Amino acid sequence: MDEISLQRKYGGAVRKRRLASGHSQDTFADAIGMHRAYFSSIERGERNITLQTMRRVAEGLGTTVASLMSDAGI
């Protein structure tokens, strides 16, 4: 699996969890201290993010990195 596919799968899992939590991109990004445009690019799979950023997003969603990776099928 190539890098772009991994990023898109992860981003899709993040988007699904965020929508289930009822947050808009704006409110969620603000809640975790991230710019909306940057967060949006994560959800679209355009960013190769660090483990620290993955943890920050997961914690904001009330889950773990491992759980998000599992949701993404990675």
Burial class, 12, CB count within 10 angstroms (exposed 0-12 / middle 13-18 / buried 19+): middle
Decide which of 57 and 4 is more confident.
57
Q: What mean pLDDT comes out for the span 37-49?
A: 96
Q: What mean pLDDT comes out for the span 18-47?
A: 97
DSSP annotation string for 7-56: HHHHHHHHHHHHHHHT--HHHHHHHTT--HHHHHHHHTT-----HHHHHH
Q: What mean pLDDT comes out for the span 47-63?
A: 96
- The average confidence (pLDDT) of the chain is 95
Where are the chain's structural domains? 3-66
CATH of 3-66, one of 3.40.50.11540, 3.90.79.10, 1.10.260.40, 3.20.20.450: 1.10.260.40
Decide which of 1 and 11 is more confident.
11
Q: Count of CB atoms within 10 A of residue 19's CB? A: 13
- The predicted pLDDT at position 1 comes to 67
- The predicted pLDDT at position 4 comes to 75
